[in-house]
Structure 1
Amino acid sequence: MGRVIPENVKQPLDRNKLKALVHYICFQCHDPSVLGATKLNKILWYSDVIAYATAGASITGETYTKQQFGPVPRHILGIIDELKAEAALAVREVEYFGKVKKEYVALRKPDISMFTPDEISLIDSVIDVVCHKHTAASISLASHDAIWKLAEIGEEIPLYAALASELGEVTDEDVKWAKRVSSKTA
């Protein structure tokens, strides 16, 4: 199966799904010491980017902005505050190599009924790679691709831009898609 070329460049944010995803990620990382803010942000980014590239739509519809350590979900702080207020999540600050690191602890089981089995499988795979095969520094560097480097701090990084960061042959299907999208935004 080939890559799915997304028809809709911008999809609306599904705030409830984003909140459920953050809760699920924190729940799945049984050892809070392996999940800080950088890794949480990267799991969200890669889950949405991979879903966008393979299925034609992100999981959450979230917008990401360039920050020092890579793409960051625009609504992450509000979502974390909501989860804390609902007693679904605790955030603790710990010293880590002379700096303060946030750790996230799920206080109850998340509701994952809004996710498809394929989405859960994708998310679990991303969690495994980010939490168990990377440090915060290495996953941060991995997210600093050509598109991230071109953006300014605070600037939106559209998910479709991630498709341009991959090397590959431009197909006739790619050209047709680009013409359709550019005619809709012109």
Structure 2
Amino acid sequence: MYEFITDKNKVVHAALYVLKRVGKADYHKVFKILYFAEQFHLKLYGRPLTGDAYQAMQFGPVPSFLYDVFKAAEKGISPFDEATSRSGLFAVTREGKTPYVTALQNPDLDELSESDLEVLELSIAENKELKFDELVKKSHDAAWDKSEKNQDIEMSYIDIAQAAGISEEMLAYIGLQAENSSSKLI
């Protein structure tokens, strides 16, 4: 499996950007908008947006580090110092059983490149109006299916890219980018 190093600052600033554009949203909406932005970035530029590890969960892909940050914002504590230190950027409230997150500050646009902003805008435009069930169905793509069938929790960026319909040449390029990024192939 190819791995990328998670850019934790980019993760939180991408989430802040999404929330500033869509307003208060449930975790699910934010996670799916970011997942599809990752796919756009892979397809257009040959590297992920954030490098966050996506977990194949029941209702679709979940970015692992961002989930830890949101849970730390909700509970006020996390076993992960890096998540706790960034959790103050978000407020989490519950409406029934559903947690909603709000940005407490504007994103630092210096943390996001022009290509990052481009794919975030594409994903927001394409996904912000979709309902929960529509996002579940859309995100249960070939990458999610493969992780489910293989009982792998962490989704492969190569599988995520393939689910986006990326060419073989771009897949090879993504593999090289992953190798250069992490110096670790599993």
- 1:22 and 2:15 correspond: yes
Greater Rg over alpha carbons, structure: 1
Could you list the runs of 5+ residues in structure 2 that have no partner in the other structure?
73-83, 177-183
Give the structure 2 partner of residue 158 of structure 1.
156
Per-residue deviation, 1:150: 2.5
Out of 54, 57, 74, the position equivalent to 2:47 is 57
Per-residue deviation, 1:68: 0.3
Per-residue deviation, 1:10: 2.5
- 1:116 and 2:113 correspond: yes
Could you list the runs of 5+ residues in structure 1 that have no partner in the other structure?
1-7
> What does 1:141-152 align with in structure 2 at a 5 Å threshold?
141-152=137-148
- 1:42 and 2:32 correspond: yes
- Deviation digits for residues 74-98 of structure 1, max 9, x if unmatched? 1123222247742x22111013xxx
Q: Contact conserved, 1:23 with 1:83, CA < 8 A, in 2? A: no
- Deviation digits for residues 26-56 of structure 1, max 9, x if unmatched? 12113x2xx2111111111111121112101
Give the structure 2 partner of residue 3 of structure 1.
none
Question: How many residues get paired?
Answer: 164
Q: In angstroms, what is the RMSD of aligned CA positions?
A: 2.9
Q: Contact conserved, 1:66 with 1:155, CA < 8 A, in 2? A: yes
- Deviation digits for residues 89-131 of structure 1, max 9, x if unmatched? 2111013xxxx21111122222121211221121022112211
- 1:74 and 2:71 correspond: no
The amino acid that maps onto 1:115 is L
Q: Contact conserved, 2:39 with 2:164, CA < 8 A, in 1? A: no
Q: Contact conserved, 1:83 with 1:89, CA < 8 A, in 2? A: no
- 4+ runs deviating over 4 angstroms: none
Shifted more, 152-161 versus 117-126: the winner is 152-161
Give the structure 2 partner of residue 13 of structure 1.
6
- Provide the rounded CA distance (Å) in 1 between the counterparts of 2:64 and 2:115: 25
Per-residue deviation, 1:154: 5.9
The amino acid that maps onto 2:104 is L
Give the structure 2 partner of residue 90 of structure 1.
91
2:124 alignment partner, SS class: helix
Out of 136, 140, 144, the position equivalent to 1:140 is 136
Give me the identity figure in percent: 21
Q: State the TM-score, normalizing by the size of structure 1.
A: 0.75
With over 3 angstroms needed to count, the CA separation of the structure-2 counterparts of 1:78 and 1:147, relative to structure 1, is closer
- Deviation digits for residues 135-168 of structure 1, max 9, x if unmatched? 0110111011123122236611112112333568
